[in-house]
Amino acid sequence: MSTTPQRGINLDTVKERLERLQKSKKNSNLTWKPTDKEQTIRIVPYKYKPDNPFIELYFHYNLNGKTYLSPISFGEPDPIYEVAQKLKNTGDKESWKQGKDLEPKLRTFAPVIVRGRESEGVKFWGFGKTVYEELLSNIADHECGDITDPLTGRDVVVYTIKEEGKSFPTPKVRIKMTQSPVTNDRDILQKIVKEQPDIRELYELKTYEELEKILDKYLNPEEESTTDADPEKKTAEKKTETVQQEVKNSADVDVIQNAFSELFEGEGK
Specify the pTM: 0.71
Does the structure show a pLDDT above 50 at 269? Answer: no
Tell me how many helices (H) and strands (E) the chain has: 8, 8
Q: What is the CATH number of domain 30-195+208-217+229-264?
A: 3.90.198
Q: Please compute the mean of the pLDDT values over residues 131-135 and round it to a whole number.
A: 95
Does the structure show a pLDDT above 60 at 232? Answer: no
DSSP per-residue string spanning 187-246: HHHHHHHHSPPPGGGTS----HHHHHHHHHHHHSPPP---TT--HHHHHHHHHHHHHHHH
User: Please, are residues 34 and 148 in contact by the beta-carbon 8 Å criterion?
Assistant: no
- Minimal CA–CA distance to 247: which of 260, 263, 264? 260
In DSSP terms, 148 is beta-bridged to none
Q: How confident is the model at residue 237 (pLDDT cuts 50, 70, 90)?
A: low
pLDDT one-digit tens code per residue, 252-266? 445 444 443 444 444
Maximal CA-CA distance, the chain:
84
Whole-number pLDDT of residue 29: 85
Residue 164, phi then psi, degrees to nearest 5: -60, 135
The DSSP secondary-structure symbol of 141 reads S
The DSSP secondary-structure symbol of 257 reads H
Domain boundaries, the chain: 30-195+208-217+229-264
CA atoms within 13 A on the CB side of 17: 6
Whole-number pLDDT of residue 165: 83
Whole-number pLDDT of residue 267: 43
